[in-house]
Amino acid sequence: MFNKIGIIGLGLIGGSLAKALKNRIGVKTIVALNHNEDVLKQAYKEGVIDAYTTDVNEIFSDCDIIFVCTPVSIIHEYIQKLTAYIKPDCIISDVGSTKYKIYERIKNISNKFCYIGGHPMTGSEKFRYSASKEHLFENAYYIITPADNVSEYKINLFYTAIKNIGAIPVIVSPEQHDYIVASISHVPQILASALCNNVQFLDTPQKHMYKLAAGGFKDITRIASSNPDMWENICFDNTEQIFNSLSYLEETIKNFKISLLEKDRSGVYNFFDNARQYRDSFSNITPKSFIKRYEIVIDILDKPGSIAIIAVLLSSNNINIKNMSIVNNRERENGVLYISFDSEEQRKKSISLLRDMNYEVQIKD
């Protein structure tokens, strides 16, 4: 499909893209740019990339696609530099968490290449190349925001490439993208950081909150460990949409405080109940992809070998584990090990095998 692909910024996303493109769709040549040459040398030694540079130059001249995986505030600078070397039908994409301002910044040069914005809805609080992995995009949404002047042929090529690395591509406009992610990604990041700052400020001199914060608190604030440079850039690139979402959130919290002060028990109950019903309505069926996850929850002992026993039991019965995750607390869950399968048949077979071994198994829908 593509002979040569370029990647600028070999961190978590850039490194994972390189690994996925090399191993899953067989891209022959991948060239990369990164300021830290040690990272480039490591990726080259691993066979993930085939050539590298620390500055934009002719190494990118024959690329079919170039992914710019840098902070959003400097994406347009790299695109500007690339125009001196790339061929006119080269697809330039990015992985930024905002889109509209990028389009505005490159509008006057967008006729020199095919610009297809991208935003993989995946990642980690770890953001370096050492955390990159080939399967990072597996079953994750990958938002695509093509420019108006890009042909359907080019969009389909890009769409297929993203699908072939295991992601679920979804096409929206840049404006829609920024409106959506402000509420489901950017504001949650702000809230996670706010909760951490709040507990740090309110903690006792003996640090009781710090010592006791676990389970739900650690889960909900996990993303607060993300790269602050990246989030500073995102906030100033999507200020209007973030501000609007925060304003609505402030109104929601204000109304809850009023219900609390006025001892309005039904108001407080409805606040939690509405949220519970909405959260519980999230479907396991991935929209527009018809991917269904057949999941179970298993209550297991926290001791060496517990997970290995289950994995061996299922694999020896020719059952493929699609995904597995561990819940780090038992505060509100009926078990600690989640497993998903490719089919209902495999899920039923697994439940039968596990219950025969006296495991407590719940179906997760």
**Mean predicted confidence (pLDDT) in 324-340:** 63
Which tokens sit at 239?
């200020």
pLDDT at 285 > cutoff 70: no
Reported as a single tens digit per residue, the pLDDT across 35-91 is 999 999 999 999 999 999 999 999 999 999 999 999 888 999 999 999 999 998 999
Note whether 107 and 147 are within 8 A (CB).
no
Domain 177-280 sits in CATH at 1.10.3660.10
Note whether 97 and 186 are within 8 A (CB).
yes
Q: Domain limits of the chain?
A: 4-172, 177-280, 293-364
Note whether 11 and 69 are within 8 A (CB).
yes
Class of domain 293-364: alpha beta
pLDDT at 345 > cutoff 50: yes
Percentage of the chain beyond pLDDT 90 is: 63
pTM of the model: 0.73
Quote the pLDDT of residue 325: 76
**Mean predicted confidence (pLDDT) in 301-318:** 88
CATH superfamily of the 4-172 domain: NAD(P)-binding Rossmann-like Domain (3.40.50.720)
Quote the pLDDT of residue 208: 92
Note whether 145 and 171 are within 8 A (CB).
yes
Which tokens sit at 88?
């006119």
Reported as a single tens digit per residue, the pLDDT across 208-238 is 999 888 777 888 888 898 888 888 989 999 9
Place of tokens 């070397």: 85
pLDDT at 346 > cutoff 70: yes
**Mean predicted confidence (pLDDT) in 310-334:** 74
Residues whose CB is less than 8 angstroms from the CB of residue 228 and which lie 6 or more positions away in sequence, other chains included: none
Quote the pLDDT of residue 126: 61
Residues whose CB is less than 8 angstroms from the CB of residue 44 and which lie 6 or more positions away in sequence, other chains included: 50, 51, 52
pLDDT-based confidence at residue 365 (cuts at 50, 70, 90)? low
pLDDT-based confidence at residue 123 (cuts at 50, 70, 90)? low
CA angle 267, 272, 277 (to 5 degrees): 120
